[in-house]
């Protein structure tokens, strides 16, 4: 099947590469000429395990192409997937300007029946707007060409997107057209042959499914983080509580890990967009608002713990001349994505108070140096995790990369100025670190009186 994908960001490239892997003729289109030149030269603009290999193989087989010419890409195509960005607007809603610009261009260029797929995460009712934009383009041309607009939300996890696409939990397709539904079933058949994972529904329900899924997962994370805060106050250990509730099959262990909160391109933006959608209907989504507030508070709490530690040593809230080693800049492991990462809150807060930072991340350093912290002084980017520790007053773990999970704690202690670890991901064994002489902070575990006295000493 000939497929056109508009947008060469994370979703567009993963989708294009996976469809091409199954033998489809795929053209990814973008108006960024430099990005298209880079892709044609084999330069992949983002890190995702397995994506580079997949793109290279399909490009070599000539099943995957990159172009800036939408008209040529649409010629003979059965399906066009819109996978452009939907940035957050000032009021928290999803900004649809790029989606609707693409829809207008499709209306100006199509020459035969086409299934137009909303692959971008968009609010309920977007398909109607896309349909109107395409129809307007056709009317301006004074032509009548049939088309259908379908909602097909993506459920990819950064770091495992290829696996998620190739072996999906479900494929949700929203359409009222039998013709479009049959084409979408044909398109996804290679991915759903072993088990029936294809779920057809109406368009608005499909649009809502994506937001509801992300809001539910974010809710689990914030719920566990609020339990962690209660545990700290009452002297319980949230890690043990997690084991106790996760063993209940109705709850399970996934997404109930306490930590410094969620980030990335999906959860924060989608939850806020869902709040805005509800408010536009006159509702007050109290639970979903609480999810956002708790997530924000987790980062504030983490920063306050650092301040409290040094305040207990008689230094007040200043961190002047203090040096911190930061392990992890990306919002999660196996990606270079730093959008709404905890590091974007924690690092500036420390620098504002006079601290300097030594940091290491396996893949996100370039993003940090060239984009997010480009104008920020006081950050040294190190070549490995141990180099970042040199002379630091404490280690801060912000991203749970695999190489951070079982480090040499003797080496850590030797390189740190003082053996203090603030663990934002609850990765290490508390008792072991205390035996080694570390002051170790975890989310959801209270600091004992003995530990507070040790800080003062």
What are the Cα distances from residue 7, in Å, to 103, 122, 209, 308?
Answer: 12, 15, 22, 46
SS3 115: strand
Catalytically annotated residue among 18, 231, 266, 382: 266
First-to-last alpha carbon distance for the chain, in angstroms, is 70
Q: Is 328 left (phi over 0), alpha (psi -120 to 50) or beta?
A: left
Tokens of 130: 């896309």
CA–CA gap between residue 42 and residue 56 (Å, rounded) = 7
- Sheet with 394-397, side-by-side order of all strands: 379-381, 356-360, 323-327, 394-397, 420-423, 439-442
**Angle ∠(125,131,132) on CA atoms, nearest 5:** 95
Among residues 31, 34, 4, the alpha carbon closest in space to that of 16 is found at 4
Note whether 10 and 46 are within 8 A (CB): yes
Among residues 376, 332, 336, the alpha carbon closest in space to that of 357 is found at 376
CA–CA gap between residue 161 and residue 148 (Å, rounded) = 27
Active site residue 18: no
SS3 384: coil
Q: What DSSP assignment string belongs to 122-191?
A: --TTHHHHHHHHHHHHHHHHT----EEEEE----PPTTSHHHHHHS-S-EEEE-S-HHHHHHHHHHHGGG
Note whether 199 and 118 are within 8 A (CB): no
Among residues 225, 221, 228, the alpha carbon closest in space to that of 446 is found at 228
Tokens of 110: 């199509």
84's CB contacts (< 8 A; 6+ apart) are: 6, 7, 9, 12, 98, 99, 102, 120
CA–CA gap between residue 269 and residue 218 (Å, rounded) = 11
Note whether 28 and 67 are within 8 A (CB): yes
Note whether 420 and 395 are within 8 A (CB): yes
Report, as residue numbers or ranges, the catalytic residues.
266
């Amino acid at each position: 099947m000939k497929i056109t994908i508009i947008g060469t960001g994370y979703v567009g490239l993963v989708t294009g590469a996976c469809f091409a892997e199954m033998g489809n003729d795929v053209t990814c289109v973008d108006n960024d000429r430099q990005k298209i030149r880079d892709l044609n030269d084999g330069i992949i603009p983002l890190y995702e395990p397995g994506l580079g290999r997949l793109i290279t193989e399909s490009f070599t087989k000539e099943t995957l192409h990159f172009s800036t010419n939408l008209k040529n890409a649409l010629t003979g195509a059965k399906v066009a997937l819109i996978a452009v960005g939907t940035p957050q607007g000032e009021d928290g809603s999803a900004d649809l300007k790029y989606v609707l610009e693409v829809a207008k261009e499709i209306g100006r260029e199509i020459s035969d029946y086409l299934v137009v797929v909303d692959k971008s995460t968009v609010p309920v009712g977007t398909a109607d707007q896309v349909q109107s934009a395409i129809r307007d383009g056709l009317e301006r041309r004074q032509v009548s060409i049939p088309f259908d607009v379908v909602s097909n939300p993506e459920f990819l996890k950064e770091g495992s997107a290829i696996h998620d696409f190739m072996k999906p939990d479900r494929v949700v397709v929203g359409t009222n057209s039998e013709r479009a539904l049959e084409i979408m079933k044909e398109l996804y058949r290679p991915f759903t042959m072993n088990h029936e994972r294809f779920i057809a529904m109406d368009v608005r329900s499909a649009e809502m499914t994506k937001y509801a899924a992300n809001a539910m997962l974010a809710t689990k994370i914030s719920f566990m983080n609020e339990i962690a805060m209660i545990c700290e106050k009452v002297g319980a250990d949230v890690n043990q509580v997690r084991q106790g509730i996760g063993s209940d099959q109705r709850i399970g262990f996934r997404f109930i890990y306490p930590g410094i909160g969620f980030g990335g391109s999906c959860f924060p933006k989608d939850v806020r967009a869902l709040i805005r959608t509800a408010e536009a209907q006159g509702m007050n989504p109290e639970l979903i608002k609480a999810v956002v507030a708790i997530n924000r508070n987790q980062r504030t709490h983490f920063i306050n713990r650092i301040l409290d530690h040094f305040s207990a040593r008689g230094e007040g809230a200043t961190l002047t001349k203090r040096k911190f080693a930061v392990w992890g800049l990306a919002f999660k492991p196996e990606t270079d994505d730093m959008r709404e990462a905890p590091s974007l809150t924690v690092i500036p807060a420390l620098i504002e108070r006079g601290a300097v930072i030594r940091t290491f991340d396996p893949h996100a350093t370039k993003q940090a140096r060239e984009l997010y912290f480009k104008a920020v002084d006081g950050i040294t980017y190190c070549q490995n995790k141990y180099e970042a520790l040199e002379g630091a007053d404490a280690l801060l773990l912000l991203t749970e990369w695999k190489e951070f999970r079982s480090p040499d704690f003797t080496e850590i202690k030797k390189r740190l100025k003082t053996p203090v670890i603030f663990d934002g991901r609850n990765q290490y064994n508390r008792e072991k670190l205390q035996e080694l002489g570390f002051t170790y902070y975890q989310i959801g575990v209270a600091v004992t009186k003995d530990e507070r006295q040790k800080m003062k000493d």
